[in-house]
Amino acid sequence: MSSTHHLHFTIILVLFFSTKLPCFVNTSIPQQLLKGFSSIPLSSSKSFQPLLIDPTANFSLGFLRHNQYDLKLAVVHTPSSQPLWIANPTRSASWADTTRIFFNGSLVLWDPQKGVTWSTATYGERVVLLNTSNLQVQKQNKATPLWESFHFPTNTLVQDQNFTSNMSLLSSNALYSLRLGDTFMGLYANYGEEKGSLLSKRLLYWKHTALEAKATIVESEGPIYARVSTKGYIGMYQTSSKPVDVQKFNSFQQTSSFLLLRLELDGNLKGYYWDSTKSSWLLNYQAITETCELPNPCGSYGLCTPGQSSCSCLDNRARFEPGGCFIQNGNEDGELCAGDGIAGENGYRILRRNGVEPPHKALLEQVTTSSLEECEGLCEKNCSCWGALYSNGTGFCYVLDYPIGTMLGTGDESKVGYFKVRKGARKRNRVGVIFGIVVGVIFGTVVVGVGICAVRWKRMKKVNGKEEEEEEENWAGPGPYKNLGSASFRSIEMCSGSGVQ
């Protein structure tokens, strides 16, 4: 009798623990890969197919499904499926049984159409995933790895990962990057870089200079590096273990679980911590807290006015749409007159607007001119100039040598902007505006009319839906003051089989 009880108890215990165990723990997923390892993606894997796990099973290397048919090799945080590192983020393989990953000394991702899409180019003996999420190719019995993913961060830094001056974080739309300078860390907007253009430029839009409160930077002692400390801050360091600068997270000096820092699609840099009781990532830090200080919150030729809750357009006659106020016909990078090679007014028209100033002007170079005309003249005949902003009060002239993004609205009407708009750039939804006015006039106060408008408007939204999705990829996910918290950080249960962002 007591033995039956015992058995019952054991069964209950087993049931209890088996339901408590996270379902991703599959004892057959190895903790190291040896030479000869090879694997292919399975069509049955919905979102993530693990290949290798770390000793705590918190992290996993595997195939991540992207846009249904694309495959990325990624290290994910298993409970949330959140990618922490991606092999070659700019080039994905196809999710097909002809795609192969193998380890022959190098860890290689191979696709018959594209060839080797990624390789560690090493002569190693095994691949392991450390309990820090660092993926390493090692020689047997050698402490220093031949290759490690921590040296090639993508858009994320995890706690204790060193970020050095020859690394960068790149947002997954490739528009923004985080880099270290001699004495600061900065966020940059990249122009033309992803296309490998010779005209590629970087524009600094956020800068945090080391305060040097606990240790000072000595020029001869080499570059600084940064690290997210488990104590809840981003530290910048030089040679001493004392930081030369500390940017505190909300959880400063609290013991919170895993921390990470991520460069988001909108160009903001955000910190999160993993709350295992809520099974979600909670926002812990953001570099930019004011929407108008983001690099391009209202898209191209947009206007962001601090204190107002929505975006508008530099051109009064255009209506704001997510993605910006003009549809550029591709080629928005590079020089304004590169298309036809003719400098002059043929390629563009002029747009002027009072009460605007450039964003992040403290980080821009300016010249002093004696008049608005002189300031505009600096831009007018120069192919690489897209616009000029003049402040009558100070005489400062800002010449913009990159495509016009979002400008700042100011109450000061003596601040004037001059912008070149490529000819052929269509005003967004001009037709939509006219349509709206006509409908408004016809149905005026009639309640029925309002109803019809609403239906039509909804349909228009639907029709525009697809285009908007594409815009999201092209522009920095600008939109009317998006929710800064959750936007692109969905945590998804891996076991539920739902797609990964």
Q: Is 32 in the site for ligand NAG (CB under 6 A)?
A: no
Rounded Cα distance, 271 and 253, in Å: 15
Beta strands 156-158; 259-263: pairing state: antiparallel
Q: Is 402 in the site for ligand NAG (CB under 6 A)?
A: no
Q: Is 258 in the site for ligand NAG (CB under 6 A)?
A: yes
Q: Is 254 in the site for ligand NAG (CB under 6 A)?
A: no
Residue selected from 94, 280, 286, 384 as contacting ligand NAG according to rule CB under 6 A:
384
Phi and psi at 237, nearest 5°, equal -135, 160
Residue selected from 45, 126, 160, 207 as contacting ligand NAG according to rule CB under 6 A:
160
**Choices 283-291, 294-302, 303-311, 378-386; region in contact with ligand NAG by CB under 6 A:** 378-386
Nearer to ligand NAG, 460 or 492 (CB): 492
Beta pairing partners, 408: 304, 357
**Choices 64-72, 100-108, 194-202, 324-332; region in contact with ligand NAG by CB under 6 A:** 100-108
Give me the least distance between CB of 116 and ligand NAG, in Å please: 5
**Choices 67-75, 98-106, 294-302, 355-363; region in contact with ligand NAG by CB under 6 A:** 98-106
Q: Is 164 in the site for ligand NAG (CB under 6 A)?
A: yes
Give me the least distance between CB of 303 and ligand NAG, in Å please: 19
Q: With contacts defined by CB under 6 A, how many residues of the chain interact with ligand NAG?
A: 28
Asked if 107 and 101 count as a contact pair (C-beta separation under 8 A), the reply is yes
Give me the least distance between CB of 354 and ligand NAG, in Å please: 8
- 3-class SS of residue 203: strand
Task: Spell out a b/e string for 144-173, using b for 16 or more CB atoms within 10 Å of the CB, else e.
Answer: ebbbbbbeebbbbbbbebebeeebbbbbbb
Residue selected from 150, 163, 249, 386 as contacting ligand NAG according to rule CB under 6 A:
150
In the bound state, the residue with its beta carbon closest to ligand NAG is: 258
DSSP string, 444-472: TT-HHHHHHHHHHHHHHHHHHHHHHHHHH
Give Dmax (Cα) for the chain. Answer: 101
Binding mask 195-234 for ligand NAG (x = CB under 6 A): ----------------------------------------
Of 176, 204, 206, 207, which is closest to residue 190 (Cα–Cα)? 176
Query: What are 76's two structure tokens?
Result: 């994910």
Asked if 120 and 147 count as a contact pair (C-beta separation under 8 A), the reply is yes
Binding mask 475-494 for ligand NAG (x = CB under 6 A): --------------------
Nearer to ligand NAG, 165 or 464 (CB): 165
Q: Quick one: 215 exposed, middle or buried, by C-beta within 10 A (0-12, 13-18, 19+)?
A: middle
Q: Is 106 in the site for ligand NAG (CB under 6 A)?
A: yes
Asked if 270 and 171 count as a contact pair (C-beta separation under 8 A), the reply is no
Nearer to ligand NAG, 29 or 484 (CB): 29
Nearer to ligand NAG, 314 or 385 (CB): 385
Asked if 390 and 369 count as a contact pair (C-beta separation under 8 A), the reply is yes
272: Cβ–Cβ under 8 A, 6 or more apart, which residues? 259, 260, 261, 262, 281, 282, 283, 284, 489
CA 281 to chain CA centroid, nearest Å: 17
**Choices 3-11, 280-288, 380-388, 403-411; region in contact with ligand NAG by CB under 6 A:** 380-388
* Intra-chain end-to-end CA distance of the chain, in Å: 54
Binding mask 270-299 for ligand NAG (x = CB under 6 A): ----x-x-----------------------
Residue selected from 26, 31, 394, 498 as contacting ligand NAG according to rule CB under 6 A:
26
Nearer to ligand NAG, 183 or 464 (CB): 183
Residues that bind ligand NAG (CB under 6 A): 26, 28, 56, 58, 79, 104-106, 108, 116, 123, 131, 150, 160, 162, 164, 166, 257-258, 274, 276, 382, 384-385, 392, 399, 401, 414
